[in-house]
Amino acid sequence: MLDEAMFSAFRDIGRDLFLRGMVSSHAGKLSVRAGGIIWITRKGAMLGRITRDDVIETGEAGPDPPDSRASSELAVHRAIYGATGGRAVVHAHPPYATFLSMFQDELVPVDLEGFHVLGRVPVVNIGRAAAGAPEAARAVSEALKEHRIVVAKGHGTFARGETLEAAYMATSSVEASSFYLYHLLGRQVPGIPK
């Protein structure tokens, strides 16, 4: 059963992602794992307006009957939980980080906060695979063994943490750092539009 504190975390982080412009109206996914259960946002949920019906309870291993209503990226979230000690995952589409991922193999923050919070942020290439495909699940979960956050090239970020708030912190930090990187690299790197 989704308790009030956990529902509040889903609602608040979803709203914050939307208000910061890190997801469009029906994009992005949130999940939490506890005691063999995963709570994950449903397909087509509006993160800026999450209700209790938008959070699906399913098994950590699956397949489970609720899986048909859960996010299409459930396989990626399960792989992250299977490969890491993470207890929460935030998947977003922050525009600067996503844009830079099309030109860089990793994002290296130039700002002090980004450097200390994130270190180097790998960009994983999932090709043209759907974000919920097995190859995406493998690439993202492998990279998250060593890092708090990764960027799927041209798609968006996956961050893990002990809580949704911790995963959101990494997501907002990578976007702030990417804003600085864009303005710095846009003047120096061929191929990045100015």
Neighbour count for residue 53 (Cβ, 10 Å): 9
Measured between alpha carbons, how far is 38 from 81 in angstroms, rounded to an integer?
Answer: 9
pLDDT tens over the chain, length 194 residues: 789 999 999 999 999 999 999 999 999 999 999 989 999 999 999 999 999 999 999 988 877 666 778 888 899 999 999 999 999 999 999 999 999 999 889 999 989 999 999 999 999 998 776 767 888 899 999 999 999 999 999 999 999 999 999 999 999 999 999 998 887 776 565 566 65
If DSSP states are collapsed to H, E and C, what string results for 121-155?
EEEECCCCCCCCCHHHHHHHHHHHCCCCEEEECCC
Q: Spell out the alpha helix ranges (H) of 56-187.
A: 74-83, 95-101, 112-118, 134-144, 164-185
Residues 12 and 29: their CA atoms lie apart, in Å, by: 13
Q: Enter the tokens of residue 118.
A: 């994130």
Instruction: Calculate the CA 34 to chain-centre distance.
Output: 18
Q: Which domains does the chain have, with CATH numbers?
A: 4-185 (3.40.225.10)
Determine the pLDDT at residue 187.
Answer: 57
